[in-house]
């Protein structure tokens, strides 16, 4: 498995547009903490960025020796809002950005059944460039429930369109995230996102879902016990033979610097991977 750090480590949970550190500083941090790749988001560089920014980002990443495990090229996809699926209607700029950054995967969004046809066309265009499109397990999308994920991926029916398996979002939607789900979805799992939480009615964060109403929780570090059962997650990933990226996908928690969070999580995950 490839240990990947999302640039979300330098974002706030509810404010995802502004980066708190320059990209070259972040690549240096990721390298020091033992990561092999970065997961790029629009807070650092996206389809809105001017050519000089993209060229500079590519040079910074190349100099660090890191790969780019995936890109999320705009803020609508990041926020999973009603405009999130618009990238599927104009995928070319995202493909160009992915190629410039050396990324094999692009995260996209589907909100309704009518988005499936555009997903198929976008995947066909991406296949010509050997690029995969992926959708995260996510609330308020066609990828909330295991049944919905499987049904949608079967409907899209493209070998280069897959899933970002994300146990915390599955837990929010009251879905099993263990071995049975991993086995069921294994052929579509192209990336893994990890973030952590403790579900509680008085939690500081509340998210709406289609399938489970409003769900409240407290955010905790991935390497903090009491949340997602990562022993079971990694046992399941090994059982299905998963060897792709494992991406730390959350910002630093209060009381932690980004480097403290990134290093503590990397140390924790390396023990589980090995």
pLDDT digits (tens, 9 = 90+) for 9-22: 988 656 688 888 99
User: What is the reported pLDDT for 14?
Assistant: 62
Q: CA angle, corner 159, sides to 79 and 166, nearest 5?
A: 40
Residue 75 region by backbone torsions, left for phi larger than 0, else alpha for psi between -120 and 50, else beta: alpha
Query: Nearest-CA neighbor of 19 among 178, 260, 261, 251?
Result: 251
Q: Write down the residue that tokens 């493909």 correspond to.
A: 95
pLDDT tens digits for range 49-68: 999 999 999 999 999 999 99
Q: What is the pTM of this model?
A: 0.96
Q: What dihedral angle (degrees, nearest 10) is formed by the CA atoms of 4, 171, 106, 142?
A: 180
203 — pLDDT class (breaks 50, 70, 90): very high
Superfamily (CATH H level) for 2-273: Divalent-metal-dependent TIM barrel enzymes (3.20.20.150)
Question: What is the DSSP code (8-state) at residue 195?
Answer: -
The percent of residues in the chain predicted with pLDDT above 90, rounded, is 93
25 — pLDDT class (breaks 50, 70, 90): very high
pLDDT tens digits for range 115-152: 999 999 999 999 999 999 999 999 999 999 999 999 99
Taking 3-state DSSP, the helix, strand and coil percentages for the chain, each rounded to the nearest 5, stand at 40, 20, 40
Tell me the chain's radius of gyration from C-alpha atoms: 17
pLDDT over 70 (residue 236): yes
pLDDT tens digits for range 152-174: 999 999 999 999 999 999 999 99
98 — pLDDT class (breaks 50, 70, 90): very high
Beta strand residue intervals within 103-242, DSSP E? 105-107, 132-136, 161-165, 189-194, 196-199, 205-208, 214-220
User: What is the reported pLDDT for 251?
Assistant: 84
């Amino acid at each position: 498995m490839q240990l990947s750090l999302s640039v979300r480590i330098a974002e706030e949970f509810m404010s995802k547009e502004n980066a708190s550190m320059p990209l070259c500083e972040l690549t240096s941090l990721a390298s020091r903490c033992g990561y092999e790749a970065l997961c790029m988001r629009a807070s650092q560089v996206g389809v809105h960025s001017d050519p000089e920014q993209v060229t500079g980002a590519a040079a910074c990443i190349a100099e660090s020796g890191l790969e780019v495990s995936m890109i999320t090229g705009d803020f609508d996809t990041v926020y999973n809002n009603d405009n999130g699926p618009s990238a599927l209607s104009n995928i070319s700029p995202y493909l160009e950005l992915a190629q410039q950054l050396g990324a094999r995967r692009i995260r996209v969004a589907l909100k309704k059944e009518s988005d499936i046809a555009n997903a198929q066309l976008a995947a066909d265009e991406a296949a010509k460039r050997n690029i995969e499109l992926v959708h995260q397990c996510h609330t308020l999308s066609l990828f909330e429930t295991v049944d919905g994920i499987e049904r949608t991926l079967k409907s899209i029916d493209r070998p280069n369109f897959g899933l970002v398996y994300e146990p915390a979002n599955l837990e929010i939607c009251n879905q099993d995230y263990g071995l049975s789900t991993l086995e069921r979805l294994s052929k579509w799992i192209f990336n893994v996102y990890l973030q952590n939480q403790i579900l509680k009615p008085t939690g500081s964060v509340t998210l709406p879902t289609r399938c489970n109403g409003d769900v409240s929780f407290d955010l905790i570090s991935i390497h903090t016990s009491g949340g997602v059962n990562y022993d079971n997650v990694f046992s399941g990933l090994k059982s299905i033979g998963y060897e792709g990226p494992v991406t730390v996908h959350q910002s630093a928690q209060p009381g932690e610097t980004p480097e403290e969070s990134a290093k503590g999580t990397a140390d924790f995950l390396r023990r589980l991977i090995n």
